[in-house]
Amino acid sequence: MKKTGVELIAEERQEQIEKHGFDVKNDADYSHNELLKACLFAINPAQFEWPFYWQEKFREKILNKPNEIERLKIAGAFIAAAIERLQFLEEKKVEVFSRPECVFKYCPTPELCKDKCACGY
Protein backbone atom coordinates (compact mmCIF):
# COMPACT_ATOMS: atom_id res chain seq x y z
CA MET A 1 0.00 0.00 0.00
CA LYS A 2 1.28 3.44 -0.87
CA LYS A 3 2.03 5.94 1.85
CA THR A 4 -0.28 8.90 2.30
CA GLY A 5 0.82 12.44 1.54
CA VAL A 6 0.95 13.20 5.25
CA GLU A 7 3.22 10.21 5.85
CA LEU A 8 5.57 11.25 3.03
CA ILE A 9 5.76 14.82 4.34
CA ALA A 10 6.37 13.62 7.92
CA GLU A 11 9.20 11.36 6.73
CA GLU A 12 10.77 14.22 4.77
CA ARG A 13 10.53 16.56 7.76
CA GLN A 14 12.15 13.89 9.95
CA GLU A 15 14.98 13.61 7.40
CA GLN A 16 15.47 17.38 7.47
CA ILE A 17 15.88 17.17 11.23
CA GLU A 18 17.89 13.96 11.63
CA LYS A 19 20.03 13.86 8.49
CA HIS A 20 20.58 17.57 7.85
CA GLY A 21 20.24 18.99 11.38
CA PHE A 22 17.52 21.49 10.45
CA ASP A 23 15.49 21.33 13.63
CA VAL A 24 13.20 24.00 15.10
CA LYS A 25 16.04 25.71 16.96
CA ASN A 26 17.92 26.12 13.68
CA ASP A 27 14.76 27.18 11.86
CA ALA A 28 13.96 29.80 14.51
CA ASP A 29 16.70 31.97 12.99
CA TYR A 30 14.86 32.24 9.67
CA SER A 31 13.08 35.55 10.04
CA HIS A 32 12.56 36.45 6.39
CA ASN A 33 10.11 33.74 5.28
CA GLU A 34 12.95 31.54 4.02
CA LEU A 35 11.05 28.34 4.79
CA LEU A 36 8.04 29.47 2.80
CA LYS A 37 10.24 30.73 -0.05
CA ALA A 38 11.93 27.32 -0.19
CA CYS A 39 8.50 25.68 -0.15
CA LEU A 40 7.35 27.72 -3.14
CA PHE A 41 10.61 26.98 -4.95
CA ALA A 42 10.08 23.24 -4.39
CA ILE A 43 6.57 23.51 -5.82
CA ASN A 44 7.57 25.54 -8.86
CA PRO A 45 11.29 26.23 -9.37
CA ALA A 46 10.64 28.07 -12.61
CA GLN A 47 8.47 30.69 -10.93
CA PHE A 48 10.00 31.11 -7.45
CA GLU A 49 13.51 31.84 -6.20
CA TRP A 50 15.58 29.84 -3.76
CA PRO A 51 16.40 31.73 -0.52
CA PHE A 52 19.49 33.61 -1.67
CA TYR A 53 21.91 32.66 1.10
CA TRP A 54 20.90 29.02 1.53
CA GLN A 55 23.22 26.26 0.37
CA GLU A 56 23.07 25.57 -3.35
CA LYS A 57 23.45 21.82 -2.83
CA PHE A 58 19.92 21.65 -1.41
CA ARG A 59 18.57 23.73 -4.29
CA GLU A 60 20.20 21.34 -6.74
CA LYS A 61 18.81 18.36 -4.83
CA ILE A 62 15.29 19.71 -5.29
CA LEU A 63 15.87 20.46 -8.96
CA ASN A 64 17.10 16.91 -9.52
CA LYS A 65 14.07 15.23 -7.98
CA PRO A 66 12.55 12.83 -10.51
CA ASN A 67 8.93 13.87 -10.13
CA GLU A 68 6.41 16.30 -8.70
CA ILE A 69 5.52 14.07 -5.72
CA GLU A 70 9.12 14.20 -4.50
CA ARG A 71 9.16 17.99 -4.74
CA LEU A 72 5.75 18.33 -3.07
CA LYS A 73 6.78 16.25 -0.08
CA ILE A 74 9.77 18.57 0.38
CA ALA A 75 7.47 21.59 0.07
CA GLY A 76 5.15 20.09 2.69
CA ALA A 77 8.08 19.49 5.02
CA PHE A 78 9.07 23.16 4.64
CA ILE A 79 5.51 24.17 5.61
CA ALA A 80 5.71 21.86 8.63
CA ALA A 81 9.01 23.47 9.59
CA ALA A 82 7.48 26.94 9.26
CA ILE A 83 4.60 25.93 11.55
CA GLU A 84 7.01 24.43 14.08
CA ARG A 85 9.10 27.62 13.95
CA LEU A 86 6.09 29.81 14.75
CA GLN A 87 4.99 27.51 17.57
CA PHE A 88 8.51 27.55 19.00
CA LEU A 89 8.73 31.34 18.88
CA GLU A 90 5.28 31.67 20.41
CA GLU A 91 6.21 29.28 23.20
CA LYS A 92 9.42 31.19 23.86
CA LYS A 93 7.48 34.48 23.75
CA VAL A 94 9.77 35.85 21.07
CA GLU A 95 8.33 39.01 19.59
CA VAL A 96 8.81 39.64 15.92
CA PHE A 97 9.84 43.13 14.85
CA SER A 98 8.30 44.53 11.71
CA ARG A 99 9.29 47.65 9.85
CA PRO A 100 7.17 48.80 6.87
CA GLU A 101 10.13 49.85 4.73
CA CYS A 102 11.79 46.46 5.08
CA VAL A 103 11.16 44.23 2.09
CA PHE A 104 11.34 41.16 4.32
CA LYS A 105 8.99 42.59 6.98
CA TYR A 106 10.00 40.35 9.89
CA CYS A 107 13.06 40.34 12.11
CA PRO A 108 13.40 38.94 15.63
CA THR A 109 14.61 42.26 17.07
CA PRO A 110 14.99 45.84 15.88
CA GLU A 111 18.74 45.56 16.49
CA LEU A 112 19.09 42.46 14.36
CA CYS A 113 17.04 44.08 11.63
CA LYS A 114 19.19 47.20 11.71
CA ASP A 115 22.53 45.40 11.88
CA LYS A 116 22.03 42.20 9.90
CA CYS A 117 18.96 42.43 7.73
CA ALA A 118 19.60 41.64 4.10
CA CYS A 119 17.28 44.43 2.99
CA GLY A 120 19.98 46.99 3.85
CA TYR A 121 17.81 49.29 5.97
Per-residue confidence in pLDDT tens, the chain, 121 aa: 899 999 999 999 999 999 999 999 889 888 889 999 999 999 999 999 999 889 899 999 999 999 999 999 999 999 999 999 999 888 877 555 555 555 555 555 555 555 555 555 5
What does the alpha-carbon distance between residue 57 and residue 84 come to, in Å, rounded to a whole number?
A: 24
Phi, psi of 28 (to 5 degrees): -60, -25
Quote the pLDDT of residue 116: 54
Quote the pLDDT of residue 30: 87
In SS3 terms, the chain reads as CCCCHHHHHHHHHHHHHHCCCCCHHHHCCCCCCHHHHHHHHHHCCCCCCCCCCCCHHHHHHHHCCCCHHHHHHHHHHHHHHHHHHHHHHHHCCCCCECCCCCCCCCECCHHHHHHHCCCCC
User: What is the total residue count of the chain?
Assistant: 121
Within a domain: 107:
no
What domain range is 70 assigned to? 5-93
Quote the pLDDT of residue 92: 79
Quote the pLDDT of residue 64: 96
Within a domain: 11:
yes
What does the alpha-carbon distance between residue 40 and residue 36 come to, in Å, rounded to a whole number?
A: 6
Quote the pLDDT of residue 114: 57
What's the number of domains the chain is made of? 1
Within a domain: 112:
no
Within a domain: 74:
yes
Within a domain: 113:
no
Within a domain: 71:
yes
Within a domain: 118:
no
Quote the pLDDT of residue 106: 53
Within a domain: 110:
no
Quote the pLDDT of residue 118: 55
Quote the pLDDT of residue 79: 97
pTM for the predicted model, two decimal places: 0.76
